[in-house]
Structure formats: C-alpha cells, structure tokens
Structure 1
Amino acid sequence: MKDRPSQFSSASASAHIDEVTGGRRLRRLRRTDWSRRLVLENELSVNDLIWTFFLTTGTGVAEPVEAMPGVERYSVDMAVRMAEKAAKLGIPAIAPFPREDPEKKTEDGSYITDPDNLINRAVRAIKKEVPEIGIITDAALDPFTTHGHDGILRNGEIVNDESVEMIVRGALSQAEAGADVIAPSDMMDGRIGAIRKALDENGFNHIPIMSYAAKFASAFYGPYRDAIGTLGLLKGDKKTYYVDPANSEDAVREAEQDIAEGADMLMVKPGLPYLDIVYRLKETFRLPTFAYQVSGEYAMIKAAALNGWIDEEKVMMESLLAFKRAGCDGILTYFALDAAQRLK
C-alpha cells in the first residue's frame, strides 16, 4: 500500500496560491505602515466633523445627560466657551439643540419664532464671541411643543401646511439671530421650498439649507429625546412623517424632492444603520451629503466601552471613518471634540 502524499511544501503551496490568485498578492501593500498609508482610500479629518450638543437655561450650567455619558447640556455662557474649544480644535461647525423651559412650550410650538428663545440667544452669543465657527440650526418644532412632535397637532394628526408655516417663521428667526445654515429636521412636505423662498425674500439668500432629507422613524433617538425633554410623546409616534426604516426608494424620493425645492446639502439620520442610504444619495445626486451619528449610536458605543467590551477610541474612529467610506462629506456627531483631539 502506497504512502499517502505528503502535504504541500512551502514552495508548492506558494506556486498553487500564485496560480489561483493570478500572482496577485493583496497583502503586499498591507505589510508596512508607510505602504498602508500610501494606498489609503478614505481619510477622516477634523474638517469632517460637526459637533452636536445641547443647550439649557440658566448660567454657569453644565449638567450631564444621563443616557449619554460624557455629554452635557450647557447654558448659553458655557456653550460659548465650548464653541471656543471646538474652534481651537479646528472643528468647522456646530449644531446646538435646545432643552427649552417647559413653561415656554405650547401646542403649536410658536416659541420657536421668539428672538429670545434659547437657540437664538445661543446663536447670537456664539457668533459674537466665536465668529469663525459655523452654526447649523434645526427649525423643527419638537423642542417647543408640549406634545413633543415636530409639527402642529390637530385632532390627533400632524397638520403639514400649518406646521410648515410655523417652521418657516422659526427658520427666519434663526437666520436673523445669525445662524449660518438652516437644517430643518421635521420632514414636512414642502418645507424646503417654503424656507428657501422666505430666506430669499428677507435678505438671507446667502444662507444654505441642509435638508434632513432622509430622516427615519428610528428607535435610535431615545437619548436625544431625553436630552431635550421630549422622551415621552404625549400622543402617537412620528411614523406619519418620518421615513419607514424598511424603505430606501422613499428616502431617495424625499431627497429628490428637497433638491428640487432648493436644498444645498442632504443629510441622513440616523447614521451607521443607514449607510446604504448615504451611499445611494451620494451616488445618485452628487450633492454634499452628511449623516447624523445619533444619540443611540453614541450611547451604545459609550455603554459598551464603560463595560470594558470594546476599545472606545478605536470604535469611535472606526465608526466615523465608515461614514467617509459611504460617501459622507461630513458627520454630525457627539464625538466631535474627542475625535478632533485624537486627529490633532
């Protein structure tokens, strides 16, 4: 009985591998640090970061958001200091979100139009002290309504056109305060065109609109709603105006409509679970495209890191790089300060 053939020798194994790969050894360019850097396809920089944070009333306040370790709500004076820090790190823009005084909230969210509301006071103060940083404001109604919806609630229904009228007034109020970009997140039909028309007619034709073009009815917003005080919606949910997580064609149609109405930039929200949507919008429309790494994404990374299950810094940077790989021109993220320090 003949002996069984011995295993491949190193030489025969190499010959076989070269035969099946056509001589292409993809690992060659991964061997050294310099060669990996030389062929890097995507690179994250501080210029890709937009810092998202929360505002609150009072003076000298920096109160922790329980569901988002490391995140705080800042009073206006403290927000100015933090904006200075962001600017020194090279972060090009910030996106503040207010936790308004409950006494200022109404059924129709009309306090969004008040020049002295929290977001407008913060915008004026930051533009005065840190004029070099861009400020992106959200003209949605949810921080200003008693029910926590992004529009006006009438007989159990979010009424579109009346909501758009209030959102437009809010956008004008933010522009007058000094906002550099209006970024409406409400997902009402026609709001981009209405805001564009109002801005142009009131001398703000230089202000771009970053449309939350594909904002999904996601479960990832929980910590954010806690942070701005809308965690428990009093009536219903937001499925009648946000995009269903199952739908990608719907998201493309939303973006197409917003572009036709005058959107200068597109945003996808949430971020990592919807990278396919980011890629589709970028490939389809070739417009500046952004993603919002939302509170739930942030909280999951933080929670896993606090339990010692992952390396927080590595996962943070990997997650941000994933947005670049998908086609993002920038990322709205609560990690912006930490990431900017790491990139520096």
Structure 2
Amino acid sequence: MSEPLESDRLPGAPHPRETSVLFGQDAAEAQFLAAASAGRLHHAWLLTGPRGVGKATLAWRIARALIEGDPVTRLAMAPEAPAFRALATLASPQLFLCRRPWDDKTERLRTAITVEEVRALKEFFQLSATDGGRRIAIVDAADELNASAANALLKVLEEPPSSAVLLLVCHRPAGLLPTIRSRCRELRLNPLGPADMAAALAAAGAEVGESAALATLAGGSVGSALRLAAEDGVGRYDAIASLLARTPLDRRGLLAIADGVAGRDAAPRYELTLELIGIALWRLALHGAGAPVEAVSPSEAEMLARLAPTPAHAAIWARLAPEIAARTTHARAVNLDPGQVILDTFLQIDAAAAEARALAA
C-alpha cells in the first residue's frame, strides 16, 4: 500500500505546521494581533492571497497562539513549546484539520473536500473542551470544498459554537460562496519581495543556484518557487523560451517537450509545463506593453525581443494567453492525451508567432 500523502503539504518542503518562521507577512500578522488585543476576535478568518505565500503557515501560527491561551500578543513560538509540538504532531485535542483525505482504496488523495469532512468538523465543535479552551479548525484549502461541503460549512459559520475559531485558507476567494465570504473576516497576504523570498527559500532548505530566476517565475510565491526548483522549472522554462525564440517551431525541440510529459508519473511535469507556457505568454504581453520585464535567461531575452517589441504585439499575446488557458483547462478535465495537448498548444502559439513576425516585417 502506498504511503498516505497530505494534500496540504508541498513535496520536498516542511509542512506549514512544522514551520516556525513566516516571511514577508508582517502586515497580516499585525492585523490579526490588533483584533485579538482589542477583544474583536472574529469566529472565522479567511486567509487569502496567491498560492504559496504563507497563508497556511499563518493559519498554524494563529492556531498555536490561540491554543497557548489569552491574551494573544504574539504569534512567534519556539518549536520546543508544548503548543508547537502538539500541533506539529496533530496531537492537540483543541484542533481539527479539514483537508482533502487520502483514499485507501484508490491509494490517492481525493479530488475535493467532501461533506463527510465538514460533518466531522461540526462534530468536533460539538464536543466540550476538557480544558475550557478554544476549539480551532483549519480548512486547507477552502477552494477544494465541493458544493455539499461548502453548504455544510456555511451552516457552521451561520451558527458558530462558542469559543470556536475557524481559519480558512483560500487561494481564490472569488470562487467561494459569497455567503461564506461575508461571514469571515479577511486577512490578505501578498506576494513576497526578493529579500523575503530568498530568506524563505533558505529557511525551507532549498538548495537552488537560480534563486533570482525562481523568484521571478514564481511571482513572489515560495510554494511555487519550491515546486519549480523540484521540477527544474527554470530549465524547463528556458527550453520553452528557446523554442519560441526561434519560431517557426523546431520539430525536434517541440517533440522533446511533448515526450517529457507522457506517462502517468509525468503528471506534475505536464501541469508545470502548461503553467510555464502561460507564464511565457503573459510575459510576452507585458513586455510588448512596455512593462519592465527582466529576462530570466538569454533565451527569454531573445524571445521577448523578437516576438513582443511593440504594444501591437502585446495585444496578440494578451488575447492568446486566456484562450490557451481555457483550452488546456478543458483538456485536463476530459483527460486528453498530455503529449497531444502540448503539441496542439505549441502549434497554436506558432500561428500567433507568425502573426507577430508579420507585424515586425
């Protein structure tokens, strides 16, 4: 039997509950502490922002501080502290973690948080706390609630138990039920700047020699940067940029990228390749529009200069990027062959590149 995976753990990185330091989110922490010290501790908090910027880490920091007791005047805690150790091992009776579960039959993570998990959360809140303290639930991530689970969670939010605090990690709040959003107080976390990104990568134990390129491609997300590092994202992006810089497309290079996403074990590379294609298209659009885009490699510099020298070129890529995103989302939903999806995507880009070259002629 396969070892169960945790849906809220990024491969190759410490789990947020094991992380003692949060970088670049002082404003969000200060906002929570101000509410707690003023006695305005809301029963539900919605932690929003791009994926991988520290939302789950902040949720666990808040949970530890609340379990430690009142007054809540700081969120920093030493890993040796009892509350830190209890949550790191999921041994605290005061905390419930709601996330996508592992399915023993399929030996895979479920694709959504189901109503059964939310019902277990509700039952947890109905138990009496033996120590009289708070009961805290972390939902990671609220984006993964299916429709029935979302409606069940809404009922909990509408009639919150006393001494209960819910911490909802959310990457795309616009996708949540408006009634869920309206019953939560939002804590917005922002992308990390270069210095905080470098410090966070070092703290996560990332041994990367291309931290500047990683930070640029990750868009200020530590989680994305770690995933890029694990899958040689910088090298894969350079291969894509090199291919596009020399359109019409080189058949050998195109087949190499398509072959690299074939097979069941290649699913992460497939997802990453589609993501990197999207990044390339949007960076072309930004460059053509005159935005400051610092190339991450000589190949990308050549791609940007050749395919997006003017605002007219930017319009081509700005139109194409969402079209390709929609097509590849549909392709994944209906399980089309990954290699063929990559080939079709690049052929669509090749046609747009021919249009861009014609503009420059």
- Under a length normalisation based on structure 1, what TM-score does the superposition of the two structures give? 0.28
Q: As a proportion of its length, which structure holds more strand?
A: 1
- Under a length normalisation based on structure 2, what TM-score does the superposition of the two structures give? 0.27
Q: As a proportion of its length, which structure holds more helix?
A: 2
